[in-house]
Structure 1
Amino acid sequence: MNIPDTKLPRIIVIGGGFAGISFIKKLKGVNVQIVLFDRHNYHTFQPLLYQVSTGGLEPDSIAYPLRKIFRKHTDFHFRMAEVEHINTKENIISTTVGSLPYDYLVIATGTRTNYFGNENIANNSMPMKTVPQALNIRSLILQNIEDADRATTESERLRYLNFVIAGAGPTGVELAGALAEFRKGILENDYPELEEEDMEVHLIEGQDRVLPPMSEQVSKKAHRFLEKLGVQIHLNTLISDYDGTTVTTKDGKTYKTATFIWAAGVTGAPISGIKAEALVERANRYKVDQFNKIEGFDNIYALGDIALMSTKDFPKGHPQVAQPAIQQGDRLGKNFKKMLKGEKMEPFKYFDKGSMATVGRNKAVVDLGNLHFGGAIAWFMWMFVHLWFLVGFRNRVVTFFNWTYNYINFDKAARLIIRPFKRI
């Protein structure tokens, strides 16, 4: 691998998500060599993937080139590759573009979709963890509506217009709300031969309420918002199968659909080579101490969704969302500065800045400690926070313009089938 040799400490970072970026930013100007590996050459702002999948934003509004983020860093190197194995004895990683030794290794690989061992669902449903997957969903949604417009039988038309989402966490709730608004704002204008009431949005959740990680107060508000939009919510319902045409639940109910989106869970994305005892098998997350060091290693760290740091407040690890990843990356970067100077490192302490989810136009919910908001105020708070954390000034401007246009015109301008989806 053509990475320049160096006498400086070499830090390899695996993953250009929130945690990896936050960590590297803190090391700007520090006398080290940093090598970042990622399967994509861009950072994805995952909280807004659902807007790409429903035509609200173009993908370049929520993605930003990794090389551009760190262009002012000295001795920074990026390679678009997948890390396949870690040789912890010799301190070498093996990737799809070659091998490279390290002095320190930081794993920030995030999560992947969890299908809980159901191969039919894995093969036939639509996940939404990456930009390509979001574009696949966008294409499939629009293709199915086009197919419904020319369907020759009622059953065929209704199957194309039936949208089923598994999982009522923030992703599922936001997707369901966006699809319901698509029906109200676009279907009758663009497809006059289709009836608005024929398009159904089903949100299926295994627990007893929507947004289970959030407070009961905002959960109830989100439930009401979704019902007002016409979303059909099915609680305490577990999905057992999807064969490409029919969703089947464990209590025997069936839903004929050509669009089944799986947002029902994630699992960590570990890399082979780390000893099994350092991994919490059920969650696929590395056990880390209060300094994010993987148990049993002196020079390997894990950040964000892949790290499980057990504390009094979070015995099962911190939530697998952006804020813990950003804060852990920030603290580890500061600790590396201290460590390289021979100073004592500081333990990580998570500051919970709250949780939020949007349901639709003027409809969002926010938890801020003991404060709970819902409606237009929460919606504006949600927009401000997401704009603030988007990477790149251009992305913030373009996203704000798109949201303003959509708000004024009740329209989603990015409903283009650029790359038709075909299931392999």
Structure 2
Amino acid sequence: MDTNLPVTSQPRIVIVGCGFGGLRLAKELADAPVQVVVIDRNNYHNFQPLLYQVATGALEADNIAYPIRKIFAGQHNFFYRMADVQRIHPASNTVITNIGDIRYDHLVLATGSLTNFFGLESIERNAMQIKSIPNALNLRSFLFQNFEKALLKEDPAARQALMNVVVVGGGPTGVEICGSLAEMRKDVLPKDYPELDLKQMEIYLIEAGGEVLGPMSKESQQKAKKYLEDMNIHIRLNTSAKRFEDCKLYTSDTEFIRTENVIWAAGVNGADIPGLPEAVVARNKRVNVDHVNRVQGTTNIYAIGDLANMITEEMPRGYPMLAPVAIQQAEQLANNFKRFMRGEAMKPFHYVNKGSMAIVGRNRAVVDLPGDKHFGGFLGWLTWLFVHLMTLVGFRNKIVTFVDWATSYLSSDKALRLIIRPYKRSDFKDDKGKANAEHMNSTPQYNPTPPAIQEPVKTQA
């Protein structure tokens, strides 16, 4: 029981997940008379907004990751356990994990989100996603492996299918990876693959809605769309992906785009944990919470960040699944824990919107600020770089990322084009042929000898 945690008379606050919310909450409780226990399956904090740059060779993985134990070095009330949470048992105030059971006085779920494929099984089996560092490294390897295979193809249609990329989802992730791929096509790939006609490489952005960057202002939507079009990206609005098989992404029963590379950035679900009352889990797997982030129907279980579904008059569909929301909820919850221990009433959460932004490419970004202020271009690009650089965890990560960005800007090059661990889809299939969600979000097991280049996986409709 308790996986060898020290016995204490102080209240134990167990935090599941060390993303933006979990990390900030644990740090804010440093001076509180509590024992803080963080559980995460990875021993590092992952800066998700820059995953797409890892996937496209602009940054290395360790630029955007930082060891959890190093972050909290010197925080004497902090303890970390590397584990997978399997279930919650509210009746006994216990978290059941693969390394043992952990008792809690207060439990905070900060598990974030998982990719939502909306029941499209062929896409879930064969498309790539960017929700973790292993995902990003797999995508990077997969793209460059397909260019190596394209060199060997004599059939023009087969060669182009290996070069074409389709990004599904016109939110910030989809827009940003499209821009990064377009810059690779222009500045990087012609140097590495002079035998290929890179003018044949097509990049498509598919969005089911009527605009890209749906949550942002009309001005930013229009500006981002123009940036993408100027970079020769094919934008298809009001278009949905139906299935992906035989190197074809179907947008209707008969219409398709020939490609081997589909990147899914179209939706997310909350990463809920078994054991919560079914009534509190919403359709998108987010967990209904009250005005202090307490899970409805419980007394000592809380949820923050992407998992928390807090309904208010201003936000009838819940707060957006954004890092600033998670950070502010963590700060408020830490203060509420301190109030609770002083015998004071908890205060409700109120989100302060400080703006939103998205980068499209070099000198191209869009920024929305409170007060109906919008700008873009070079100033927006600098703003995006500064905010993300300052938000990175760790001084070393900030410096190395700044140097990498400066080098890339001056040389128009991305040096990280290494296929260190070759990727094949069959590494992530269970006995039913479906993608194994547990493996897709953890470090995969690879053969010591790199596998031979495989032909594209083909499935039946």
Q: Distance in 1 between matches of 2:348 and 2:277?
A: 24
Partner of 1:39: 41
Q: Distance in 2 between matches of 1:297 and 1:122?
A: 34
Q: Distance in 2 between matches of 1:65 and 1:312?
A: 39
Letter in 2 for 1:198: Q
Q: Per the alignment, in what secondary structure is the counterpart of residue 250 of structure 1?
A: coil
Asked if structure 1 preserves the Cα contact closer than 8 Å seen for 2:30 and 2:77, the reply is no
**Residues 85-126 of structure 1: CA distance to partner in whole angstroms, max 9, x if unpaired?**
111111111001111111000000010000011111111110
Q: Distance in 2 between matches of 1:27 and 1:50?
A: 32
Q: Distance in 2 between matches of 1:78 and 1:69?
A: 11
Matches within 5 A, 1:87-98: 87-98=89-100
Letter in 1 for 2:234: Q
Partner of 1:327: 328
**Residues 281-323 of structure 1: CA distance to partner in whole angstroms, max 9, x if unpaired?**
x121111111111111110000000001111221111110100
Deviation at 1:345? Answer: 2.0
Q: Per the alignment, in what secondary structure is the counterpart of residue 89 of structure 1?
A: helix
Task: Report whether the alignment pairs 1:112 with 2:129.
Answer: no
Q: Distance in 1 between matches of 2:306 and 2:31?
A: 27
Asked if structure 2 preserves the Cα contact closer than 8 Å seen for 1:125 and 1:244, the reply is no
Q: Identify the match of residue 57 of structure 1 among 53, 59, 74.
A: 59
Asked if structure 1 preserves the Cα contact closer than 8 Å seen for 2:26 and 2:78, the reply is no
Matches within 5 A, 1:361-376: 361-369=362-370, 370-376=372-378
> CA, structure 1 residues 417+70, in 2 after alignment: closer, same or farther (shift >3 Å)?
same
Q: Identify the match of residue 387 of structure 2 among 385, 388, 396.
A: 385
Letter in 2 for 1:272: P
Partner of 1:176: 178
Q: Distance in 2 between matches of 1:241 and 1:296?
A: 39
Asked if structure 1 preserves the Cα contact closer than 8 Å seen for 2:30 and 2:78, the reply is no
Q: Identify the match of residue 152 of structure 1 among 154, 171, 183.
A: 154
Asked if structure 1 preserves the Cα contact closer than 8 Å seen for 2:182 and 2:233, the reply is yes
Q: Per the alignment, in what secondary structure is the counterpart of residue 353 of structure 2?
A: coil
TM-score (norm 1): 0.98
Q: Distance in 1 between matches of 2:4 and 2:248?
A: 50
Q: Distance in 1 between matches of 2:252 and 2:303?
A: 37
Q: Distance in 1 between matches of 2:346 and 2:335?
A: 8
Q: Per the alignment, in what secondary structure is the counterpart of residue 238 of structure 1?
A: coil
Q: Distance in 2 between matches of 1:151 and 1:277?
A: 54
Matches within 5 A, 1:275-294: 275-280=277-282, 282-294=283-295
Q: Give RMSD over aligned pairs.
A: 1.0
Letter in 1 for 2:13: I
Q: Per the alignment, in what secondary structure is the counterpart of residue 239 of structure 1?
A: coil
Task: Report whether the alignment pairs 1:248 with 2:256.
Answer: no
Q: Per the alignment, in what secondary structure is the counterpart of residue 351 of structure 1?
A: coil
Which of structure 1's runs of 4+ aligned residues deviate more than 6 A?
Answer: none
Q: Distance in 1 between matches of 2:243 and 2:253?
A: 12
Partner of 1:99: 101
Matches within 5 A, 1:179-328: 179-243=181-245, 245-250=247-252, 252-280=254-282, 282-328=283-329
Q: Structure 2: where are the runs of 5+ without partners? A: 427-461
**Residues 341-400 of structure 1: CA distance to partner in whole angstroms, max 9, x if unpaired?**
112222111000111100000000111120111111100000000011111111111111
**Residues 53-96 of structure 1: CA distance to partner in whole angstroms, max 9, x if unpaired?**
00000000001111111112113211111111111111111001
Partner of 2:457: none
Asked if structure 2 preserves the Cα contact closer than 8 Å seen for 1:207 and 1:235, the reply is yes
> CA, structure 1 residues 27+244, in 2 after alignment: closer, same or farther (shift >3 Å)?
farther
Partner of 1:402: 404
Asked if structure 2 preserves the Cα contact closer than 8 Å seen for 1:29 and 1:74, the reply is no
Partner of 2:349: 348
**Residues 220-252 of structure 1: CA distance to partner in whole angstroms, max 9, x if unpaired?**
100000011110111100111012511001363
Letter in 1 for 2:123: I
Letter in 1 for 2:417: R
Bigger shift: 332-341 or 264-273?
332-341
**Residues 10-66 of structure 1: CA distance to partner in whole angstroms, max 9, x if unpaired?**
111000000001111110022211111111111110000000000000000001111
Q: Per the alignment, in what secondary structure is the counterpart of residue 30 of structure 2?
A: coil
Q: Distance in 2 between matches of 1:152 and 1:421?
A: 23
**Residues 237-288 of structure 1: CA distance to partner in whole angstroms, max 9, x if unpaired?**
01110125110013632111111110000001110111011121x1211111
Q: Distance in 2 between matches of 1:285 and 1:358?
A: 28
Q: Structure 1: where are the runs of 5+ without partners? A: none
> CA, structure 1 residues 339+26, in 2 after alignment: closer, same or farther (shift >3 Å)?
same
Q: Distance in 1 between matches of 2:10 and 2:214?
A: 47
Q: Distance in 2 between matches of 1:95 and 1:16?
A: 16
Partner of 1:126: 128
Partner of 1:73: 75
TM-score (norm 2): 0.90
Q: Per the alignment, in what secondary structure is the counterpart of residue 342 of structure 1?
A: coil
Identity %: 49
Q: Per the alignment, in what secondary structure is the counterpart of residue 186 of structure 1?
A: helix
